[in-house]
Amino acid sequence: MVDYDEELAAETERVYLMPEIVRQRAKTIEALNLRAGEQVLDIGCGMGLLTRELALAVGPTGSVLGIDNSQPMLALAERRCADLPYIELKNESADAIPQADSSFDAIACTQLLLYLPNVAQTIQEMHRLLKPGGRIAIVETDWRNVLLECDDQPFMRQLFAAWEESIASPHLPGQLESHLITAGFSAVKVDAIPLLNTSYLLDNYSGQMVAYSLRVGRKSGAVTAAQADNFLAELKQRSAEHRYFFCVNRFLFTAIKI
């Protein structure tokens, strides 16, 4: 798991306010087809961006529980959701949620499962918590699919290999349908959500992703300071010359509890 301090929590919040991720949240809300008065669980709620939108979708006759095991993230969520009393936020683990069986009409889980050591157990827990006919929406990324135009492709592969090594399940989407069906879900669907940038900017998704990957690589020893500097210089030049291209797919899985 990522250990979020206040600085990393704030940085992650900036990423999740970017247009690419705003569109991702809109697709997630649409896929859940929420109705007024429903009870919703947001697992790995982070800074509460999706949590708030879920609450606005179900209205004051409904309720939303957001759980996360990072107190710095929850502090951001508490500030963001303070004006909506039908949101409850708790510091809890995703694989053992102390709520009764069949408590929720819908569950959302975004970019969390890839960090967990036991994905199957967490999905079983989601199934237990959903009411019969309840809906689930899970968003995950397969980091093998990163496309980044650059001259030094071996270095780029080395960089993202170091990033993958820091994650428990960096190639999770290919396994998720099997996990969902084994847990008892039906009507599994998957849609791709591309995160695409054609310029290198610190305030777009790829700029933040590259910066974070370089920090992980530096920390692990896979990347030197000189390599990082040279790589960033090339990306900036490519962007200035309209030769920059970054794309990675996130995958939105939806399913229904039988």
Look at residue 179 and tell me if it is in a domain.
yes
Domain enclosing residue 185, as ranges: 6-257
How many whole angstroms from its chain centre is CA 83?
24
129: which 2 tokens? 């918590």
Look at residue 76 and tell me if it is in a domain.
yes
Look at residue 236 and tell me if it is in a domain.
yes
pLDDT in tens, 108-164: 999 999 999 899 999 999 999 999 999 999 999 998 888 999 998 899 888 888 878
Q: Nearest CA to 206 among 248, 175, 165? A: 248
**What pairs with residue 257 in β-bridges?**
185
pLDDT in tens, 171-185: 999 999 999 999 999
The DSSP output letter for 144 is G
Q: Which helix (H) or strand (E) holds 139?
A: strand 130-141
pLDDT value of position 15: 73
How many whole angstroms from its chain centre is CA 58?
22
Look at residue 14 and tell me if it is in a domain.
yes
Distance CA 121, CA 124 (A): 5
Q: Burial code of 14-33, b = ≥16 C-beta within 10 A, e = fewer?
A: ebbebebbeebbeebbebbe
**At how many degrees (to 10) do helices 153-165 and 205-220 cross?**
80
Look at residue 218 and tell me if it is in a domain.
yes
Residue 245, judged by CB atoms within 10 A of its CB (0-12, 13-18, 19+), counts as: middle
pLDDT in tens, 10-62: 666 777 778 888 999 999 999 999 999 999 999 999 989 999 999 999 999 99
Q: Nearest CA to 114 among 93, 142, 147, 137? A: 142
Q: Nearest CA to 76 among 121, 45, 37, 42? A: 45
User: What single letter denotes the amino acid at residue 78?
Assistant: E
Under a CB-based contact definition with an 8 Å cutoff, are residues 33 and 57 in contact?
no
Q: CB-side exposure of 250: number of CA atoms within 13 Å?
A: 22
Distance CA 142, CA 140 (A): 7
Which whole number is the average pLDDT over 189-215? Answer: 91
**This prediction's pTM:** 0.91
Look at residue 1 and tell me if it is in a domain.
no
Q: Which residue has the tokens 């979020």?
A: 4
- How many domains are there within the chain? 1
Look at residue 45 and tell me if it is in a domain.
yes
**What pairs with residue 104 in β-bridges?**
130
pLDDT value of position 161: 85
Residue 70's domain is classified under what CATH number?
Answer: 3.40.50.150
